Structure 1
Amino acid sequence: MGKQMTEMLKGTLEGIVLAILAVQPAYGYEITARLRDQGFSDIVEGTVYALLIRIEKRGLVDVEKVPSEKGPPRKVYSLNAVGGEYLDEFWGTWSFLAERIEKLQHHIENAQKKGE
């Protein structure tokens, strides 16, 4: 993954993880696996765990310790009401930005065609 992609992903990964948790509660490794299933193959578990700590501290998720067959209990994260509100805001912001970027891209492409 290029540096530009990494930087853009840093700004959106929190919303992406909350969107994953909106579908179904999960523990860290499951979230990483779901991200990879969605094409975010370069995301490492350490990045996800650090993000989970941040969103837990911010009160965006609820955490339940669930017994594990292998080792200590797992922390299962689920989206709570505050996280749901944050996710709604994320999608609104994403839509706004995506629309503006697409308009800008078309404007630049049209300007370049006229200049040829």
Structure 2
Amino acid sequence: MILAQEPEYGYGLSTKLNHYGLSEIPKGTIYPLLATMEKNGLIEGRMKPSDEGPDRKYFFITSAGQAAKADFIEQWNQLAASVTKLINEESTDEN
């Protein structure tokens, strides 16, 4: 989702995940995940110069990544609706 908004490099992505409350994700997990997503054609890595040192590899979402994102959101919404229905029915049964 973050990469759909703007390209980001590994550490920058980790910082943004922290902002969304996902600070428990180990930093060593992010890079293998990015590598897998790149291998699967969901993102593309490109080296770009950095003002703060060596070049950084920025990741850009691909059209396949956009399609996978849309599919994920649809599945998530279906799951959320089912869980909400279950919770609401369970609440009603308790009263």
TM normalised by structure 1 equals 0.76
1:67: how far off?
2.5
Paired AA for residue 8 in structure 2: A
Runs of 4+ displaced beyond 4 Å: none
What is the 5 A alignment of 1:28-43? 28-43=10-25
- Say if 2:60 is the partner of 1:78: yes
Could you say which residue in structure 2 is the equivalent of 1:12? none
Bigger helix share: 1
- Give secondary structure in 2 for the equivalent of 1:33: helix
- Give secondary structure in 1 for the equivalent of 2:23: coil
**Matched residues in 2 for 1:88 and 1:57: separation?**
19
Paired AA for residue 87 in structure 1: K
1:22: how far off?
0.3
1:65: how far off?
0.9
Bigger strand share: 2
5+ unaligned residues in a row in structure 2: which ranges?
none
**Matched residues in 2 for 1:109 and 1:32: separation?**
37
- Say if 2:23 is the partner of 1:63: no
**Matched residues in 1 for 2:15 and 2:67: separation?**
25
- Give secondary structure in 1 for the equivalent of 2:58: strand
1:32: how far off?
0.5
5+ unaligned residues in a row in structure 1: which ranges?
1-18
Cα-Cα RMSD? 1.1
8 Å Cα contact 1:32-1:44 kept in structure 2: no
| Percent of residue pairs bearing the same amino acid type | 34
Could you say which residue in structure 1 is the equivalent of 2:6? 24
Aligned residues: 94
Could you say which residue in structure 1 is the equivalent of 2:70? 88
1:47: how far off?
1.1
